[in-house]
Structure 1
Amino acid sequence: MKIQETVLWSDSTIVLAWIKKPLNQLQQYVRNRIALIQEQTSEHRWKHVRSQQNPADIISRGQLPEYLQNNPLWWSGPEFLNREKYEVDVPETIPDEELPELKSMVTVSNDDGLLAHFHKQSSFRKIQRVVGYILRFAKNCKKKRAERELGTHLTVSELRQSTETIAYVVQQFHFADEIKRVVTNQPCRKLGNLRPVYVNKLLRVGGRLDRSQLPFENRHPIILPDKDPVVRLLVQQMHIELLHVGQTGLLNAMRQRYWLLNARSTIRFITRRCVRCFRTSPTTTSQLMGNLP
C-alpha cells in the first residue's frame, strides 16, 4: 500500500502553536525540541485532536486492565478516522501574549518585527540610514524614472523622516494602548500628565506652549520610552555628537525634539558607561590615614 500522506495528531494547542512559530521566537529549552520536531516531521501535517478522542491520554493517565481490554479507543483509535471524510477540529488561535516560552520581544505585528531588527544594531545612525534608504526605495517605486531620487547620500528631509519612522515603530510597540486612548479621546493611564496629542502618527507632548513662537518640534516633542534599546542608542549618539556633553546639557539638547520618560536616569545610565568620559574624568583615590601615635 502506497502512503500518500502522513498526518500527526496532538491534543496540545500550545505545542501546535509552537510548531508553527519560527525558532528564533522561542526560548532555548522549547526551541531545541521544536527544532527536532520540525526537522523530523517537515513532510507531514499536524492536526488537533480533542483529549477525549486521543488514545495517548488513556495510557498517560492510567487505566485498569479490565477497562483497557474493552476500550475501542485504545485498540482502534478515534472513531472519525474510520470514515473517509471527516471534519478536523480547528483549535482557537492562542495570542502571543498568552503563549508560554516565547521571547518577550517578539510579537505578531510588522512594526514590532521591524523593531526586533532595530534591537540587533549597535548604532542609531546605521538604523537611521537603513530606514532612510528603505523609505527612498518605496517612494521611487511610485515615481517615474526621471523623478526618482538617485543621490548617493540621504538628504536632511529624508533623515528626518527616517527618524520619525523609527519613533513611530518604537511608540507602536510601547504605547499602543496610550495611542488608542488619545485617538478615542479617553484618559491616558501612563502619560496623562503630559497631555499627549497624536499628530502625523506620532505621540507628542501637548503642554501649554502651543501658542508660542517656538518651532513645532520644540512645542510638541516626541514622547519616547526610557528602556528601549533603540532609544538608548539615540541618547548615546547625541552624547557623542555633542562632544560628550554632561548630563544636564544632554538633557536640554534632547528636550528640543524628544520627551524621554525618566530622562535623567536614562541619561545617567548612558553617560556613566561612556569609556571616553571615564578616561577624561577618572575617579580620584584617597589614601587611608595612618594610625594616630
Structure 2
Amino acid sequence: MARLTAYCRRFLQNCRKTSTARTESAHFTVDERKEAEATIIRLIQQQSFSLEYKALQQAQPVSPKSRIRWFHPFIGTDQMIRIGGRLGKANQVYDSKHQIPLPAPHHFSIILVRYYHEKHLHAAPQLLLYLLRLRYWITGGRRLAKRTVHKCVICVRARPKLLEQFMAELPAARPFSSTGVDY
C-alpha cells in the first residue's frame, strides 16, 4: 500500500516538474516511502477521527465522547494526530513517546497487524501488541492482535494438540509397602 502511494506521489510530482528535473529511478528513497506512509495515515485519521482532527486543528479540546480523549491527543509537526501522555521528557524516540492512533476496524490496521505478525516470525499477541505500540496505538489493538494470531493458518498448524494420558492401574504387589528412614 505504501509502495503504491509512493508511485502515485512520484507520478504527481513528475507531472508538475519539467522533463529535466523528473525522478526516473525505479527504486524509492526512504523519505519517499515514509512520506507515502504518512499520507496514508493522515487520510485514515481524517476519515476515522474527523471530529477530533477538526477540533485539534482549531486548538479546541476533543469531544468527551471521543475514543481517544483519554490519551491527550495533539497534532504533531507531521500533521498527524499523536497521543500525548507522561513520556514527554523520557529519553526515547519521538514515535514511541507519542504514538499514532489508528482505528482497529480499518483495513489498514488489519494489514499492518498482519504485516508485523509475519515480519516478526509469527509473534504471539502480547509481543505483537508491544511491537506495534512502539509506533502506533490501535484502538482495540489487543483484540485485533489476538484475532490476527488465531486466524493465522501457520500459527494454528504449529500449535500442538496436548494429549491427555490416563493414569494406569497400580500393581497388586507393592514393593514399597513399608519404608523406613535412618537419621
Q: TM-score range by the shorter chain?
A: 0.7 to 0.9
**Residue number in structure 1 paired with 2:47:** 173
Cα distance in 2 for partners of 1:224, 1:283 equals 35
Q: From the superposition, tell whether residues 183 and 288 of structure 1 become closer, same or farther in structure 2 (CA, over 3 Å).
A: farther
Letter of the aligned partner of 2:44 in structure 1? V
Cα distance in 1 for partners of 2:75, 2:53 equals 7
**Residue number in structure 1 paired with 2:178:** none
**Residue number in structure 1 paired with 2:32:** 158
Contact 1:171 1:203 in 2 (8 A): yes
**TM (normalized to structure 2)?**
0.81
SS of 2:55's equivalent? helix
Cα distance in 2 for partners of 1:283, 1:177 equals 48
Cα distance in 1 for partners of 2:23, 2:74 equals 33
Cα distance in 2 for partners of 1:279, 1:202 equals 39
Letter of the aligned partner of 1:194 in structure 2? F
User: 1:213: Cα distance to partner?
Assistant: 2.9
Query: What do residues 13-58 of structure 1 show as CA deviations (whole Å, max 9, x unaligned)?
Result: xxxxxxxxxxxxxxxxxxxxxxxxxxxxxxxxxxxxxxxxxxxxxx
How many residues are matched? 164
User: 1:284: Cα distance to partner?
Assistant: 2.8
Q: Does 1:280 align with 2:158?
A: yes
**Residue number in structure 2 paired with 1:187:** 62
**Residue number in structure 1 paired with 2:180:** none
**Residue number in structure 2 paired with 1:103:** none
**Residue number in structure 1 paired with 2:81:** 203
Cα distance in 2 for partners of 1:282, 1:181 equals 50
Structure 1 unmatched runs, 5+: 1-126
Letter of the aligned partner of 2:92 in structure 1? L
The CA RMSD over aligned residues, in Å, is 2.0
Q: Does 1:221 align with 2:99?
A: yes
Contact 1:178 1:190 in 2 (8 A): no
Cα distance in 2 for partners of 1:151, 1:285 equals 57
Query: What do residues 127-160 of structure 1 show as CA deviations (whole Å, max 9, x unaligned)?
Result: 1111110011122223333332221122222111
**Residue number in structure 1 paired with 2:116:** 238
Q: From the superposition, tell whether residues 216 and 287 of structure 1 become closer, same or farther in structure 2 (CA, over 3 Å).
A: same
Letter of the aligned partner of 1:268 in structure 2? K
Structure 2 unmatched runs, 5+: 168-183
Cα distance in 1 for partners of 2:61, 2:122 equals 41
Q: Does 1:266 align with 2:170?
A: no
SS of 1:146's equivalent? coil
Cα distance in 1 for partners of 2:166, 2:55 equals 59
**TM (normalized to structure 1)?**
0.52
Query: Which protein, 1 or 2, shows the higher relative CO under an 8 Å CA cutoff with sep ≥ 6?
Result: 2
Cα distance in 1 for partners of 2:32, 2:153 equals 32
Instruction: Spell out structure 1 runs of 4+ moving beyond 3 A.
Output: 285-289
**Residue number in structure 2 paired with 1:147:** 21
SS of 2:137's equivalent? strand
User: 1:226: Cα distance to partner?
Assistant: 0.8
Rg: which structure is higher? 1
Cα distance in 2 for partners of 1:204, 1:274 equals 30
Contact 1:250 1:267 in 2 (8 A): yes
User: 1:219: Cα distance to partner?
Assistant: 1.7
Cα distance in 1 for partners of 2:67, 2:38 equals 22
Sequence identity, in percent?
29
